[in-house]
Structure 1
Amino acid sequence: MQFTKIQLALPAKPERHRRFGSVDPVSGNKPTTKEQMVDLQNQQKDFLFSIDRVGICRVRHPIQIRSEMAPTLQTSIATISLTTSLEQNSKGINMSRLTEQLEQYRQEGWTTDLPELCHFARELAERMNQRKAEIRIDFPWFYERSAPVTEHTGLNHADASIRVAHEIQKPPKITIGMSVAVTTLCPCSKEISEYSAHNQRGTVAITAEIDPAALPVQDWKTALLAAAESNASSALHPILKRPDEKRVTEQAYENPRFVEDMVRLVAADLYEMNAVLAFSVECRNEESIHLHDAVAAIYYDKRTEATH
């Protein structure tokens, strides 16, 4: 079978564009240079209300993470929010300055180290000529985890977050967070059953406000991870051979936990961290014998103790 090659007679690309709706630029009389253009956002008059936070969010951006656990330096993809305050007499902010500063810090090799992010928030407020500025970063953090018997190594991850809020003439407000998946085994099921007990995967969500006077602190990521995993029935592992599976199964059976138990035990660990001013803990179990989840939560502020 022979095929006949057909040569299409296509018009030039500009003509193709015109056929599909493109038009020539219109000559206008508005300025084309930045210096001559009207800056609407810099208008000064009574705009009714001040604004607490204005800026950009859902910015996807690479970030360098240092850690005490291997890998000790990694690049992750963060979701970033950059905002500032806005006075009542100002119409708006120059949002391009937000991403300009982000790019400047990227070129300088910035990391998630807390002192560095405090400096970022302070400089952002100064650049934007505002009293307040805030940066929030959410990112997956990866760490090596070895199997308990065979020591086969793989990567686990937890979802981490940092929020740094700067206000003129005040110390920065630093809030860190982590969501960790764990195993929990039901104490009631173990107690009433002749054999076995049902277990499930739980999620421990921790947020903690850090005392800025305590900076630099130890690697907070490993501290929050340990608070969640060491109080669970068992930690999760990326690789488990049969001897490892036997160990973690028996460990879970030896350490049954209700969600109530989990939040209290994690709260005790956080309370003992000197750099932590206040914290919240939530444990949510995806029940294996119910369609619903079980949940418990605690919020505690150590600063209120002085008033008791």
Structure 2
Amino acid sequence: MNKTKTLPKKQLPNKAQRHKLFGSVEPGPRTKPSEKSKMADLQNTQNDFLFDLDTVGIADVKHPITVTSKLVPTTQTTIGTFKFSSSIDKLSKGTNMSRFTEQLQAYYQQGFTVDFKTLKTFTKDLAKRLKQDDAEVEVKFPWFFERRGPYADLAGMNHADASISVKYDADEGFTLNASLSALITTLCPCSKEISEYSAHNQRGHVSMSVSLEEDFDEDDTDWKELLLEAAESNASARIHPVLKRPDEKMVTEQAYENPRFVEDVVRLVAADLYEIPAVTKFKIECRNEESIHMHDAIASVTYDKRQEEGESRG
């Protein structure tokens, strides 16, 4: 029988002694004030600091948010990744970083729903808190939506990566931008054309960024649903979380009936976004993870409807 080796019990120094062993030292003399009113405020130093700054602020701030949608689930809690900023002129040394997070906490305590209406109020309040003429907030988040199989009607959750940004300027008003990145299925038209039977397909990533009219109303239109439908309806087929065999047959046959190059996808999505009155500018990118090639296929298109209107007026 193997005997367990018995070790002598360690005699450890106390916690304070252990900390000292690993480099901790006693506090030194305190000569600087502890009261805020008596502390130096370097950020508010006024002088000629050479250049105005376009942007100063904080980024990669993660915080729980509420997102609403016209798709199920109509209300969901998710994680937002925030960026807060404003400009400062050359006479100001810096900004007060804590004011950004103070503003976030104040809104969170009231129930922070991320939509254009809320972020308009947020940026205007933030500019006032910062004592600046402008402020901008951007928040990125995963957005979940229910998707049902086309035959069995079994539900599951899909998701897309979304972002929304609002910039407030005291002179120019609000600038609204949004983006969505969704997954689709594409089937290669060339493969279908040259093969006796079958055709290779792949998973595509469609990324859309849009600028919206300042008075865009989310009570009437869900921008997330708009962008998702633009991507998915122009694909060879949609991605599904739950597929039974009859569903799979329908999806694969649909893909075969709707072959798409990446070039086709971005042009078709562009046509849909062009027809949305509230969209003033868009950029669309599609990346296909090729299933029989070592490379990805890519295409993109950018279009500004405001330039078109300006040309037509001339």
Give the TM-score, by structure 2 length.
Answer: 0.95
Among 22, 29, 36, the alignment partner of 1:20 is 22
Tell me the alpha carbon deviations over residues 133-183 of structure 1, each in whole angstroms, 9 at most, x when there is no partner. 111111110111111111111111000011111111222111000001100
1:301 equivalent in alignment to 2:299: no
Among 256, 276, 281, the alignment partner of 1:278 is 281
Matched letter for residue 175 of structure 1: N
Matched letter for residue 48 of structure 2: D
CA RMSD of aligned residues (A): 1.3
Tell me the alpha carbon deviations over residues 101-122 of structure 1, each in whole angstroms, 9 at most, x when there is no partner. 1111111111111110111111
Tell me the alpha carbon deviations over residues 187-233 of structure 1, each in whole angstroms, 9 at most, x when there is no partner. 11111111111111111110110101233451111111000000100
1:264 equivalent in alignment to 2:267: yes
Q: Which residue of 1 aligns with 2:149?
A: 147
Tell me the alpha carbon deviations over residues 54-86 of structure 1, each in whole angstroms, 9 at most, x when there is no partner. 111111111110011111111111111111111
Offset of residue 2 of structure 1:
7.2
1:54 equivalent in alignment to 2:56: yes
Secondary structure of the residue aligned to 2:238 is coil
Runs of 4+ in 1 over 6 A off after TM superposition: none
Offset of residue 305 of structure 1:
2.0
Distance of 1:77 and 1:2 partners within structure 2:
50
Among 32, 35, 38, the alignment partner of 2:34 is 32
Offset of residue 23 of structure 1:
0.9
Secondary structure of the residue aligned to 2:117 is helix
Matched letter for residue 215 of structure 1: D
Aligned length: 308
Among 91, 94, 118, the alignment partner of 2:93 is 91
Distance of 2:217 and 2:236 partners within structure 1:
32
Offset of residue 6 of structure 1:
4.4
Among 192, 195, 214, the alignment partner of 1:193 is 195
User: Which consecutive unaligned segments of at least 5 residues does structure 2 have?
Assistant: none
State the identity %. 55
Q: Which residue of 2 aligns with 1:161?
A: 163
Distance of 1:46 and 1:218 partners within structure 2:
47
Secondary structure of the residue aligned to 2:259 is coil
Among 201, 222, 225, the alignment partner of 2:225 is 222
Secondary structure of the residue aligned to 1:175 is strand
User: Which consecutive unaligned segments of at least 5 residues does structure 1 have?
Assistant: none
